């Protein structure tokens, strides 16, 4: 299977632009450019802080529900479960915010469902992905299933589009499950160009790429369409986007750990006061058997509830991760990022 580069500006152009800016810092125009860059960075930081605040506020209500099994630790259990869902959502919001910094990119509406047509599925069974490059199937045909991308971007300058599926951690997905996701994304990519022309009213898209983002930043496999979090910059044409996403996740982690610490202290305090629950020791728990437990899906329930102008959808209590509805992609190619 061959994967193709996303519609982005060449790295050389980005570096040349950076060098030119540095050489002009001493001139009035250079100082103005530096001031604009500083203002832009400040706005980005403020927006990121707002997104983190909203994610944390959504996590807190998860601890309000009583649990007869976890007792005083019910709040802690609920917070941990909610975090696995909202971390994935936060990464989507953060990336959408960074996309806005590239004027050539157009972010398609959230909850966009791309059809998975039978003809696309059959083609993928009989052909290598590389052999399908440039093929564009009709989207206005009968279909039973669809795919909803986490982010669906169109690059007007490059006449290309990219479908993103953002995972909190790819490591929590077995390889067969990742292969199934890839096939769904590719099938949706085959009709994406036609869908954009008819439904999205975006003409001229000649190439569609697909990319799975590993939010844990541990897996890099451009050949398999998987990119680490710090590779996002090259995929969306915003040079420092990867580092910005890493910083966003680090700030969120700090806030989450503070919430967990407070929840632990409250649980221990409740236990000391004897609030109707008995502390359970390791002997009473036994060895346990968690080996067969299903991993939480980081995209959680309502995975189709996507980025809406950085606004968190309706707050929900006790948000527990579930199997998510797969999102739909478009074109015939996987985005290519730089290899480590």
pTM of the model: 0.68
| Residue 311 belongs to a domain | no
Span 318-337, mean pLDDT? 44
| Residue 39 belongs to a domain | no
Span 293-309, mean pLDDT? 43
| Residue 10 belongs to a domain | no
**pLDDT class of 175 with cuts at 50, 70, 90:** very high
Tokens of 79: 């917070």
Q: Domain limits at 115? A: 44-253+297-305+320-334
Number of domains in the chain: 1
Tokens of 141: 């045909």
| Residue 84 belongs to a domain | yes
User: Helix, strand or coil for residue 221?
Assistant: strand
CA dihedral of 178, 181, 185, 187, whole degrees rounded to 10: 110
Tokens of 189: 């990519």
Q: Count the helix, strand and coil residues of the chain and give each as a percent rounded to the nearest 5.
A: 50, 10, 40
Question: How far apart are the C-alpha atoms of 280 and 6, rounded to whole Å?
Answer: 53
- Identify which of 22, 14, 50 has the alpha carbon closest to the alpha carbon of residue 309: 50
| Residue 172 belongs to a domain | yes
pLDDT in the model for residue 321: 37
| Residue 185 belongs to a domain | yes
| Residue 91 belongs to a domain | yes
Span 290-307, mean pLDDT? 43
CA dihedral of 277, 57, 165, 213, whole degrees rounded to 10: -90
| Residue 288 belongs to a domain | no
Q: Is the pLDDT of residue 16 over 70?
A: no
Tokens of 89: 């959502």
Q: Is the pLDDT of residue 18 over 50?
A: no
User: Helix, strand or coil for residue 152?
Assistant: strand
């Amino acid at each position: 299977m061959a994967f193709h580069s996303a519609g982005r500006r060449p790295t050389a152009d980005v570096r040349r632009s950076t060098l030119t800016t540095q050489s002009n810092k001493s001139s009035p125009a250079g100082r103005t450019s530096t001031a604009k860059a500083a203002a832009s960075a400040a706005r980005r930081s403020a927006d990121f802080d707002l997104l983190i605040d909203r994610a944390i506020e959504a996590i807190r209500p998860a601890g309000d529900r009583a649990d007869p099994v976890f007792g005083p630790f019910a709040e802690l259990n609920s917070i941990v479960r909610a975090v696995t869902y909202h971390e994935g959502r936060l990464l989507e919001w953060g990336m959408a915010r960074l996309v806005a910094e590239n004027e050539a990119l157009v972010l398609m509406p959230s909850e966009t469902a791309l059809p998975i047509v039978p003809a696309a599925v059959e083609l993928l069974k009989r052909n290598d992905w590389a052999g399908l490059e440039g093929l564009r199937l009709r989207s206005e045909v009968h279909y039973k299933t669809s795919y909803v991308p986490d982010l669906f971007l169109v690059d007007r300058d490059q006449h290309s589009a990219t479908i993103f599926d953002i995972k909190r951690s790819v490591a929590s997905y077995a390889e067969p499950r990742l292969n199934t996701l890839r096939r769904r994304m590719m099938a949706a990519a085959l009709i994406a160009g036609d869908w954009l022309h008819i439904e999205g009213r975006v003409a001229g898209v000649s190439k569609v790429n697909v990319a799975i983002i590993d939010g844990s930043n541990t897996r890099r496999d451009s050949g398999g369409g998987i990119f680490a979090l710090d590779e996002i910059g090259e995929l969306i044409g915003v040079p420092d986007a990867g580092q910005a996403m890493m910083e966003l996740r680090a700030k969120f982690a700090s806030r989450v750990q503070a919430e967990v610490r407070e929840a632990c202290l409250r649980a221990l305090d409740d236990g000391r006061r004897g609030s109707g629950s008995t502390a359970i020791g390791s002997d009473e728990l036994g060895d346990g058997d968690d080996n067969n437990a299903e991993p939480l899906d980081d995209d959680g329930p309502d995975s189709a509830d996507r980025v809406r102008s950085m606004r968190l959808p309706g707050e929900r209590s006790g948000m527990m991760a579930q199997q998510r509805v797969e999102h739909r992609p478009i074109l015939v190619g996987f985005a290519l990022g730089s290899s480590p």
